[in-house]
Amino acid sequence: MSEQSAPGRVIGILGGMGPEATLDFYRHIISLTPAAKDQDHVRVLIYSNPKIPDRTKAIAENGPSPLPELIETARTLERGGAGIIAIPCNTAHYFLAQIRKEVSIPVLDIIGETRLELQRAYPDIRKVGLIAALGTVVSGVYHRALAPEGIEVLVPGEDDQQAVQKAIGQVKAGVVNKGTRETFQSTGKRLIDMGAGAVILGCTEVPLAFDPAEVSYPSLNSTRILAQAAVAWALRP
């Protein structure tokens, strides 16, 4: 990208869910941008708002709704000059339609982008595993996106899902170790054993403690996939 290309194209990151996942998303934006010098990188506006109420608690436990904070954070990015918004939190996409109604700029869809990448990379897969926060699982956002394509979403059993939820909480608390990696990676293996052809890393904390090189099955990193879509928009003439 030249210094003059894509004038005014600013990626807005609606982050803070959690902060490390936001940082990981920005790292992917940097790594996916072809750049030889500072000026070749894309413009990015980050609003990391960790005060957004817990999405899983809102969906699965009737907790406080995160929607007002999500909307206000999106509006802040729009006022700040963002031309598009990316939300590196899968569970927050349960509220995507309502967020889109409250801003006049596009909001990318991590679920839809992951579906497109799955179909591009693995066109023959009819069953896919999902490692995600409980809110994402019970909300059915991936199920609704993939069912019309004839793709079945396989989710962990109750014990595995509880372990995944606990490990996600550990990653949010800064604990990334052999135990958290083993939880995510072994859960993925059991989903493969259930018949999945690949596994979606459907929580932006999961890739922080998941090493694709340590497993024998394909995985899709929703964080990186969303970053690909954001960078593609920013580099468009």
Q: Which domains does the chain have, with CATH numbers?
A: 10-109+225-235 (3.40.50.1860), 111-221 (3.40.50.1860)
Q: Are 196 and 129 in contact (CB under 8 A)?
A: yes
Catalytic residue check, 61: no
Bridge partners, 127 (sequence order): 152
Q: Which of 86, 89, 155, 171 is catalytic?
A: 89
pLDDT at position 7 is 61
> What distance in Å separates the CA atoms of residue 75 and residue 101, rounded to the nearest whole number?
11
> What distance in Å separates the CA atoms of residue 67 and residue 23, rounded to the nearest whole number?
22
Q: Which of 203, 209, 230, 231 is catalytic?
A: 203
pTM: 0.95
CB-based contacts of 226: which residues, under 8 Å, 6+ apart?
A: 25, 86, 88, 108, 110, 113, 114
Number of residues assigned to the chain: 237
> What distance in Å separates the CA atoms of residue 108 and residue 114, rounded to the nearest whole number?
11
Catalytic residue check, 203: yes
Give pLDDT tens digits along the chain (237 positions): 344 345 679 999 999 999 999 999 999 999 999 999 999 999 999 999 999 999 999 999 999 999 999 999 999 999 999 999 999 999 999 999 999 999 999 999 999 999 999 999 999 999 999 999 999 999 999 999 999 999 999 999 999 999 999 999 999 999 999 999 999 999 999 999 999 999 999 999 999 999 999 999 999 999 999 999 999 999 998
pLDDT at position 237 is 87
Bridge partners, 86 (sequence order): 13
